[in-house]
Amino acid sequence: MAGFGTRGLRPEQPCPCGGGSYGSCCRPLHRQERMAQTAEQLMRSRYSAFALGEVEHLLRTQPSEEPLLQRRRSLEATCRQLRWRRLVLLATEAGGPGDLEGTVTFEAHYSAGGQRGVLRERSRFGRSGGSLAGPWLYLEALELSD
């Protein structure tokens, strides 16, 4: 159960996303005590949620037409199979407190069944309801141009 090795991470422990202590970084977002101010913050919190098995945070922050139960099962399986090792941010475009949309390009390093891999993705984020009052949501993975 390598994927759940860090579940129940204490606030003073390092956040999986590399942004400082868990308690001052992604934990308040996972616990819905604070909203992501930027697309990058949401991206980081989703990476950490994958690393920690915080499936409800993942469900909450990505709109989908798929039935909830199915999504929850597939996310739980992903969290169990992959052990997320490291996040490297490569670029961000817009996605600030005054923006409605933004993209974040990153590398997520993982291991699965003794093999190491890297997921490289450019994610598109937008605000719920298309207004500045709406929380950031993960919308889709865009084509990567090298």
Give whichever of 17 and 39 is closer to Zn ion, judged by the CB atom: 17
Q: Footprint of Zn ion on residues 20-59 (CB under 5 A)?
A: 25-26, 44, 48
Give whichever of 35 and 132 is closer to Zn ion, judged by the CB atom: 35
For the CB of residue 11, give the shortest distance to Zn ion in the complex, in Å: 12
Give whichever of 48 and 103 is closer to Zn ion, judged by the CB atom: 48
For the CB of residue 4, give the shortest distance to Zn ion in the complex, in Å: 18
Give whichever of 49 and 82 is closer to Zn ion, judged by the CB atom: 49
- DSSP-assigned states of every residue in the chain: -GGGTTTT--TTSBPTTSSSBGGGTTHHHHTTSS--SSHHHHHHHHHHHHHHT-HHHHHHTS--SS-HHHHHHHHHHHHHH-EEEEEEEEEEEE-STT-SEEEEEEEEEEEETTEEEEEEEEEEEEEGGGSTTSPEEEEEEEPPP-
Q: Give the binding site for Zn ion (CB under 5 A).
A: 15, 17, 19, 25-26, 44, 48
